[in-house]
Amino acid sequence: MKNIAMVLYPDFLLLDIAGPLEVFSIANRYLAPDKHYRITIIGTESGPLRASNGALMQAEFTLEQATGSYDLLLVPGGPGAYNHQHPELLTWLRGASERAGRYGSICTGTFILGHAGLLDGYRVTTHWHYTERLIKAFPKARVETDQIFLEDRRLVTSGGVTAGIDLALSMVALDHGRKVALDVAKVLLVVMSRQGGQAQFSPLVANITTHETPISRVQNYVLEHLDESFSIARMAEIAAMSPRHFARLFAREVQMTPMEFLQNARIDQARSLLESSDLPLKTIAFRSGFGSVRLMRQRFVERLGLTPLQYRLQFN
């Protein structure tokens, strides 16, 4: 029997808990009794704990009562993970993680693991909206921004919300084989392996500052004229700088090269048109500045892990 523990704290995200736990619960239907998962809910305090959506959930044990070891110990995400400190939980996690077969987080639960000192030197991921914040908060962690979930030695982390289901399915596959995990996925009406990573859900170009600078002026001009051809020399001319100085300043301010910004902006434009219209792929490729469907397809596969047509089928 495998022991699965999930830790609750105030302001957790309910789906981060419910999704993975349903995977393990449904897996029990396909397993012999002695192979079942035993699920334990541990709370930072006694009594019901309120989720971010207002629902109340009662833990089976408090931290003080939960002194055993677990095959898998998970911390969910939620506003309480990154907006509040939980010193008693951090102390408990340091000891409990040493006794666990595997430990990890769902979504932004990585912030709690980080504050407990459990991310340093590990490859980790979290919800795409919070990856930059995670990178700044825990520079010793190796944050990967496009993974649905990651396993590095005994540490497992997942992207946002429903990615916890993907992580749990992978754990079932490791424990009991792909057939059992596939049966569970079919019951939940989800796929075993998603096409692409988190990048397909997140904008590739961040919001541009409202304070005008030579760099932001170039960014806005590019976004308004994506169907035109651009080079570093042309963008530098718009900024009234030398190409070398412009490229260096752009990379420092935007955290990507001018050509990376251009390609990401074109992909974002194409994604928007794929989501909101039935325009032919050729028209979308032209309006986004790719020039051809072939080049657009190539850039989509390189950056998002799926073709424009696959993207349209998923999001249109």
3-state secondary structure 231-292: CHHHHHHHHCCCHHHHHHHHHHHHCCCHHHHHHHHHHHHHHHHHHHCCCCHHHHHHHCCCCC
- Number of domains, the chain: 2
State whether 245 and 97 are in the same domain: no
Residue 208 belongs to some domain of the structure: no
Query: Residue 244 is encoded by which pair of tokens?
Result: 């070398």
Task: Report which of 114, 46, 110 is spatially closest to residue 76, judged by C-alpha positions.
Answer: 110
Identify the pLDDT of residue 193: 67
Tokens linked to 246: 């412009």
Per-residue pLDDT at 254? 87
**pLDDT at position 85, please?**
85
Pair (15, 55) in one structural domain: yes
Please give the Cα distance from 216 to 238 (Å, whole number): 11
Domain-located, residue 133? yes
CA-based nearest residue to 160, from 123, 126, 199: 126
Q: What residues contact residue 270 under an 8 Å CB cut-off, 6+ apart?
A: 284, 285, 288, 290, 296, 300, 308
- Please report whether residue 205 resides in a domain: no
Task: Read off the tokens for 179.
Answer: 């057939």
Pick from 241, 302, 212: which is nearest to 266 by CA?
302
- At residue 20, the pLDDT reads 95
Of the three residues 163, 195, 227, the one that is the final residue of a domain is: 195
| Residue-level pLDDT, tens digit, the chain, 316 residues | 899 999 999 999 999 999 999 999 999 999 999 999 999 999 999 999 999 999 999 999 999 999 989 999 999 999 999 999 899 999 999 999 999 999 999 999 999 999 999 999 999 999 988 988 999 999 999 998 878 899 999 999 998 878 999 999 999 999 999 899 999 999 998 876 666 566 555 556 666 766 788 998 999 999 999 999 999 999 999 999 999 999 999 999 888 899 999 998 999 899 889 988 999 999 999 999 999 999 999 999 988 888 999 989 877 6
Residues 162, 291 within the same domain: no
Distances (CA, A) of 8 to 44, 54, 114, 202, 284: 6, 14, 17, 28, 46
Residue 255 is predicted with a pLDDT of 83
Range of the domain at 246: 214-315
257 and 160 in a common domain: no
The predicted model scores a pTM of 0.73
Are 76 and 137 in a shared domain?
yes
The CATH number given to whatever domain includes residue 28 is 3.40.50.880
Element of type H or E holding 39: strand 37-43
CATH of the domain at 284: 1.10.10.60
